[in-house]
Chain A
Amino acid sequence: MRITLKVWRQKNAATPGRMVDYRLDDVSEDMSFLEMLDVLNESLIAAGEEPVAFDHDCREGICGMCGVMIDGVAHGPEMTTTCQLHMRSFSDGDTITVEPWRADPFPVIKDLVVNRGAFDRIIAAGGYISANTGAAPDAHAMPVPKADADRAFEAAACISCGACVAACPNGSAMLFTAAKVTHLGSLPQGQPERDDRVVNMLHQHDVEGFGGCTNIGECTAVCPVGIPLDTISQLNFDLRHALGRGH
C-alpha cells in the first residue's frame, strides 16, 4: 500500500509543533500501525532525520502506553489501541493524520508523546483499597456474587490510555475515574473507603485541570476496552451518596 502521513512534529514542550508530510510506498496490510511508524522511522534515520517519538511498550493492547489521534479519532478507526490497529483498516493511497492526545492536563513532551502523570495522581488520591500486606483473610472468607464480580471486572479493565480524555470536548477524565470508582465500589472489600474514594479522586481530577462531564459520550465511543458510560452514573450516584453523608 502507498500511504501519505501527516505527522505532528514537536521538538519539546517549549517549542511549537507543526505537521510534516511523509510518504511510505511499501506498507503491508499485516503491519500494525506502530510497525508502520517503525518503518517510517527507519527511513528517517537513513535520511539523517530524527525519528518520530511515540509511546508504546507491550504492543499487545494491554499496557495502555500507546495512543495517538489518527484522523482526529483517538486510537483511530477501530475500537482498539493504536498498537492493535492494523494497516488493513486503511486503503492504498490513503492520507493519514497523526497527532498526540490533546488535553491541557496531558502536556506534549515530544512529537506524539504526552505526559499522563495526572492519572497516577488521581489513583494516589484514593484509587485503592487500604489492605496492608501480610494479614489478609482467606480469599474465600468473603464470597462475591458473580454479578458484582463481573461488574467490577468490566470496570477494572481500564488500561489508563487516556483516549477518553483526548476524545472529550471538555477534556474530562470522568470515564477513567468512574471506572476505578466502579471497580472498587462493586466489591465488598471496597465498601469502607467508598465515600472517601469518590470524593478524593474527583477532587484530584479537578485539581489536575480535567474538565467536567456533560454526558457527551465521546469517551466510550473511543475506549479500547469498552468501559461503559453507566460507570459515570455510578460515580455520580456514589458522589451524591457520599456528600449526603457529610463528606
Chain B
Amino acid sequence: MTEQLVAGLYREGAPVRDTKAPAGPIESRWSKRRFDARLVNPANRRKLSVIIVGTGLAGASAGATLGEAGYRVKSFCYQDSPRRAHSIAAQGGINAAKNYRNDNDSTYRLFYDTVKGGDFRARESNVYRLAEVSANIIDQCVAQGVPFAREYGGLLDNRSFGGVQVSRTFYARGQTGQQLLIGAYQALERQVAAGTVEMFTRHEMLELVVVDGRARGVIVRDMVTGEIETHLADAVVLATGGYGNVFFLSTNAMGSNTTAIWRAHRKGALFGNPCFTQIHPTCIPVSGAHQSKLTLMSESLRNDGRIWVPKAGGDTRHPREIPEAERDYYLERIYPAFGNLVPRDIASRAAKNVCDEGRGVGPEVEGVRRGVYLDFADAIKRLGLEAVRSKYGNLFDMYQRITGENPYEVPMRIYPAVHYTMGGLWVDYDLQSTIPGLFVTGEANFSDHGANRLGASALMQGLADGYFVLPNTINDYLADGPFATVGEDHPAVAEAAANVQSRVQTFLGLQGSRSVDSFHKELGQIMWEYCGMERTEEGLRTAVEKIRALRDQFWTDVRVLGEAEELNQSLEKAGRVADFFELAELMCIDALHRRESCGGHFRAESQTEDGEALRHDDEFAYVAAWEWGGMVGAPPVLHKENLVYEHVEMKQRSYK
C-alpha cells in the first residue's frame, strides 16, 4: 500500500488476488469448478449451519436449496414475512437463453449482450455462467408453479426488453418479481415445515461476527421486542439487496438499505464499484416535496410506447394537440437501430438532455419540467385497445392511481430515477467475499452486471446465485468443517454485540432536533445532484464535503424518540441512514477516481463530441475494490482487479 494520498482522498493498495475462476474454455469453466469443488457428504451436512440474511430472490432460493440439501439454515429478513422482500416489486421479466423464439438466441448471445451491456466492466467468466444457468432457472420456476405468461398453444410466451434484439424475456404480466419470489418463498416455507430452515422475520442484521478471520455469525435486533440477539454458524450469506435508497428517492422499497453489507465492509470485506448506479428511464416523475419514493413503470412499456417531447421548448399545449410534425421522437431519431429500446443509461440521459434543453413536459418542479411522454396512441391504433389493456392493463391502472391521469387517453409522463446498484461487496467466482466464510449473492454483490445492468437480468442473477451457484460453491468452503465451536462469550462475539447495544443507546440518547428522514432526504439530494446521472470532478468534491458536514450534524442533532425494547421505526431508520452516510462518501470517492464514463457512471469530462459516454479501457478496465480505511472519514484503500476480455472484443458501445 502506498502511504501517499491520491487526490487527497484515498490510497492505492495491492491488486486484488485471484478471482478463483477456472482457466480453460469459457464454456466449460463452470462445470470444471463444480467438479473441482469439494463435496460434503449428506450425513455431515446436518452438522453444518449456514446463516442467510435476506429472503429476496437471492436469499430465499439459496435458503430453500441449502435446506433441501440438508444443511441447517437460519434465514433472516426485516419484513414481517419473507415473501415481502423487495424482489417482489420487479415488474418486467427475467431473461433466459432458451431460444424458444427461434430468433438465434443462445447462451453465447446472452453472455455477449450482457458483457457489452455492462460496458465491459463485468467479468467474462461470471457472465458466461449466468447465461449458462439461465435456462435452468425457467425450468425450476415452472416446476414450482410460477404462472408465466403462456400462449394459446400452452407454451411460454416471451417478449423483448431494453438493449437487446431477441425475445428472451419470460414474464408474468407486470408482476414477474412477485411470482418468482412467491415460488422461492413457497419453497422456503416448505423447508421451514421440514425443519431444515428456521425463519426469523422482523429481525434486522446490525453486525457481522468475524472470529479468527472467518465469518461466523451475525448480531440482529428483534424488531418487535428490541432484543439484541447473537446467531452463530459455520458460514454467513448476505443476500440483502441493493443500496439505491442512499438517494432517498428511488424505486426501491422503503426499507432497502446498505447496513448488512456496510457492516461487513467495515469488518474487512472489499466493496466493489460502489459508484455504479443504474438510473431507470421510465419512472413516474416527482410530484412534490412530500414524495417518499418513485414508482417505476416497467420498461416493457417501451416495446409499444413511443417516447417523445415537443420539438420546440416551452410548448405547453395538450399533447394531443401537438401535431406529428412538431414532435420529436428523439430516441427513434438518434438511435434508429434500437429506437425506444436503447439500454437504460442511454434512454435516461437522453431524457435528461431534452429536459435540460427546456423541452420537458408536465408540471414545473423547481423551475424545470422534468418529464417526457411515453405515448401509446399508435399502439392502440395498431393493436386495439383491448390488446394493449391485456398486455399492460395493471401498469396503466397503477399510473392512473398515482397521477390521476388516464394513460389510454393522455400519454404517460416519465422521467429517470435511481433504480438499481451494480456495486456491492466484492466476491470471487465462488461468490465468496474477502472474508472467508462470508458469501454474498444477488444485488448485494458487485458481480455480473458491470457498469450497467440490462433489463430482466437482476432477477436472473438473484435466482442463478441462489438456486445454482452458491449451493455448489459453498460446499467447497463447508468441506473444511467441522469448524471450531464458537460461543457467545467469545470476545469477538461479545464485542460485536456490545457495539450494537451502544449504537442503539447513542441514537436514543442524542435527543437532537431533526428527524431521521429529514437527514436522509438531504443526503439524497446531495447524492442525486452530484453523484446522480452526471458527475463532475468539482461536483464530487463538493459532495464529499457536504456529506461529511451533514454526517457530523446527524451524529449530534438527530432525534430518535421511543424506546429500545419495542418496535421503534425511527430507531431502525437511524441505523440505516447512519450507514448510508458512510457509503455515500465512498460512492463519491469511487466516482471521482474513475475518470471515464461507462454505463451508469457518466463523467461529464469524458464524453465524445456528440455527447455519448467515453470509456477509457486503457486506464480503467478494472473493478475498483475498496478497503475500509479503518475509521469514519479515513481514506479508503483502492485495490484493482484487472478485467480481461478474451471473448468479446472491447468496443465503444454504439446503439446508433
With a cutoff of 8 Å between Cβ atoms, the chain B residues found around residue A144 in the complex are: 150, 154
- Taking a contact as CB atoms under 8 Å apart, the answer to whether B515 and A127 are in contact is no
Tell me which residues across on chain B come within 8 A of A11, comparing CB atoms: 566
A190: chain B residues at CB < 8 Å are 145
Q: Does A196 contact B (CB under 8 A)?
A: no
CB-CB nearest in chain A for B64: A133
Report A59-86 residues with CB < 8 Å from chain B CB: 59-65, 78, 80, 84, 86
Nearest-CB residue, chain A, relative to B138: A139
Closest to A88 in B: B404
Instruction: Tell yes or no: A205 within 8 A of B by CB.
Output: no
Q: Does A175 touch B at the CB level, under 8 Å?
A: no
Judged by a CB distance under 8 angstroms, whether A124 is at the interface is: yes
What interface size band does chain B fall in?
Answer: 35 or more
A80 touches B401 (CB 8 A): yes
Smallest CB separation, B253 vs chain A (Å)? 4
> Smallest CB-CB separation from B567: which chain A residue?
A110
> Is B551 an interface position by the 8 A CB rule?
no
Q: Quick one: CB contact mask for A97-116 with B, threshold 8 Å, 1 for yes? A: 00000000000011001011
Min distance, Cβ A195 to any Cβ of chain B, angstroms? 16
Which residue on B lies nearest to A120, using beta carbons? B81
Q: Which of B61, B140, B517, B569 has the largest number of chain A CB atoms within 10 A? A: B569
Cβ of A51: which chain B residues have Cβ within 8 Å of it?
Answer: 561, 569-570
B156 proximal to A (CB < 8 A): yes
Judge if B82 is at the interface, Cβ distance under 8 Å: yes
Inter-chain CA distance A149–B296, complex, in Å, is 26
Is the beta-carbon distance between B81 and A117 smaller than 8 angstroms?
yes
Contact among B138, B187, B467, B570 with A45 in the assembled complex (CB-CB below 8 Å): B570
- Cross-chain contact A50 with B254 (CB below 8 angstroms): no
Measured CB to CB, the closest approach of chain B to A165, in angstroms, equals 14
- Point out the residues of chain A lying under 8 angstroms from B253, CB to CB: 57-59, 63
Of the listed stretches A155-163, A166-174, A211-219, A230-238, chain B binds A155-163
Assess the A56–B81 pair: CB atoms within 8 A: no
Docked Cα-Cα span, A88 to B143, in Å, equals: 43
SS class, residues of chain A in contact with chain B = loop
Determine if A42 and B515 form an interchain contact, defined as CB atoms under 8 angstroms apart.
Answer: yes
Contact B142 A139 (CB under 8 A): yes
In the complex, which residues 119-151 of chain A have their Cβ closer than 8 Å to any Cβ of chain B? Answer: 119-120, 123-125, 127-134, 136-140, 142-146, 149
Residues of B within 8 A of A149 (CB): 147-150, 154
Collect the chain A residues with CB atoms within 8 Å of residue B290's CB.
Answer: 28, 30-31, 35-36, 38-39
B255 at the binding interface (Cβ < 8 Å): yes
Contact between chains at B515 and A46 (CB < 8 Å): yes
- From B154, B156, B296, give the contact of A145 (CB < 8 A): B154
Check if B178 sits within 8 Å of A159, measured CB to CB: yes
Which single member of B467, B515, B518 contacts A133 (CB below 8 Å)? B467
Q: Which of B64, B82, B89, B471 contacts A58 (CB 8 A)?
A: B89
B289 (CB) vs chain A CBs: closest residue: A28
Could you tell me which residues of chain B, from 49 to 99, have a CB within 8 Å of some CB in chain A? 61, 64-65, 68, 79-84, 86, 88-89, 98
> CA A190 – CA B144 in complex, angstroms?
8
Interface status of B314 (Cβ within 8 A of chain A):
no
Nearest-CB residue, chain B, relative to A151: B147
Determine which of A41, A60, A137, A146 lies in contact with B89 in the assembled complex, contact meaning CB atoms within 8 Å: A60
- Among A1-9, A181-189, A239-247, the one that faces the other chain is A181-189
B42 within 8 A of A: no
Interface flag for A16 (CB, 8 Å): no
Nearest B residue (CB) for A138: B139
Whether a CB of chain A sits under 8 angstroms from the CB of B287 is yes
A59 touches B292 (CB 8 A): yes
B398 and A160 form a contact (CB under 8 A): no
Residue B224 lies at the interface, judged by CB distance under 8 Å to chain A: yes
Determine the distance from Cα of A139 to Cα of B155 in the docked complex, in whole angstroms: 8
* Complex Cα spacing A116 to B79, Å: 11
Q: How far is the CB of B161 from chain A (nearest CB, A)?
A: 18
* Set of chain B residues within 8 Å of A134, measured between Cβ atoms: 65, 136, 140, 467-468
B402 x A84 contact (CB < 8 A): yes
Q: A30-B287, A57-B84, A58-B253 are in contact. Are A63 and B89 (CB under 8 A)?
A: yes
A125→B81 CA distance, assembly (Å): 15
CA distance A97 to B83 in the complex (A): 29
Q: Is B189 an interface residue (CB 8 A)?
A: yes
> Do residues A42 and B82 form an inter-chain contact, with CB atoms below 8 A?
no
* Interface status of A55 (Cβ within 8 A of chain B): yes
Q: Closest CB-CB distance, A173 to chain B, in whole Å? A: 14
B180-202 CB contacts (< 8 Å) to partner A? 182, 185-187, 189-190, 192-193, 199, 201
Q: Tell me which of B147, B186, B224, B288 contacts A123 (CB under 8 A).
A: B186
Residue A223, interface by CB 8 Å: no
A57 to B178, CA, bound (A): 14
Contacting residue for A120 out of B142, B149, B189, B287, CB 8 A? B189
Distance A32 CA – B295 CA, assembled complex (angstroms)? 12
**Alpha-carbon separation in the docked complex, A160 to B175 (Å):** 14
Complexed CA–CA distance, A86 and B292 (Å):
13
**B201–chain A nearest beta-carbon distance, Å:** 7
Q: Return the chain B residue nearest A189 by Cβ.
A: B145
Name the distance in Å between B414's Cβ and chain A's nearest Cβ. Answer: 15
Chain A residues lying within 8 Å of B182, measured Cβ to Cβ, are 156
Nearest chain A residue, comparing its CB with the CB of B291 = A35
Cβ of B452 within 8 Å of any chain A Cβ, yes or no, is: no
B584 touches A (CB below 8 Å): no
**B residues 247-306 in Cβ contact with A at 8 Å:** 253-255, 287-288, 290-293, 295-296
Chain A residues contacting B402 (CB-CB under 8 Å) are 32, 84, 86
- CA of A35 to CA of B294, assembled, Å: 12
Q: A142 vs B467: C-alpha distance in the bound complex, in angstroms?
A: 21
A34 & B292 in contact (Cβ 8 Å cutoff): yes
B35 interfacial by beta-carbon distance below 8 Å: no
Report the separation of the CA atoms of residues A190 and B183 in the bound assembly, to the nearest whole angstrom. Answer: 12
Do B145 and A184 have beta carbons less than 8 Å apart?
yes
Check if A25 is an interface residue, CB within 8 A of chain B. Answer: no
Q: Which residue of B lies closest to A125 (CB)?
A: B193
Known: A129-B186, A183-B145. A143 touches B517 (CB 8 A): no
Which residues of the other chain, A, contact B569 by a CB distance below 8 angstroms?
A: 51, 53
Instruction: Report the nearest B residue to A184, measured CB to CB.
Output: B145
Q: A60-B295, A86-B402 are contacts. A53–B567 as well, Cβ < 8 Å?
A: yes
User: In the bound complex, do residue A143 and residue B153 qualify as a contact, i.e. CB atoms below 8 Å apart?
Assistant: yes
Contact A57 B145 (CB under 8 A): no
- By a beta-carbon cutoff of 8 Å, the part of chain A in contact with chain B is 11-12, 28-32, 34-36, 38-39, 41-42, 45-46, 48-51, 53, 55-65, 78, 80, 84, 86, 88, 109-110, 113, 115-117, 119-120, 123-125, 127-134, 136-140, 142-146, 149, 152-153, 156-157, 159-160, 183-184, 187, 189-190
A-B pairs, 4 with minimum CB distance: A143-B154, A128-B186, A136-B143, A136-B139
A–B Cβ pairs within 8 angstroms, 18 of them:
A39-B290, A41-B515, A45-B559, A45-B561, A48-B561, A51-B569, A58-B88, A59-B254, A62-B178, A63-B86, A80-B401, A86-B401, A120-B83, A134-B140, A136-B142, A139-B141, A160-B83, A189-B142
Q: What 9 new A-B contacts, CB under 8 Å, besides A42-B518, A139-B142, A159-B178?
A: A57-B79, A59-B254, A62-B88, A65-B84, A84-B398, A136-B140, A137-B143, A144-B150, A152-B145
Q: Which residues of B contact A (CB under 8 A)?
A: 61, 64-65, 68, 79-84, 86, 88-89, 98, 100, 136, 138-145, 147-156, 172-173, 175, 177-179, 182, 185-187, 189-190, 192-193, 199, 201, 224, 253-255, 287-288, 290-293, 295-296, 398, 401-402, 404, 467-468, 471, 515, 517-518, 559, 561-562, 566-567, 569-570
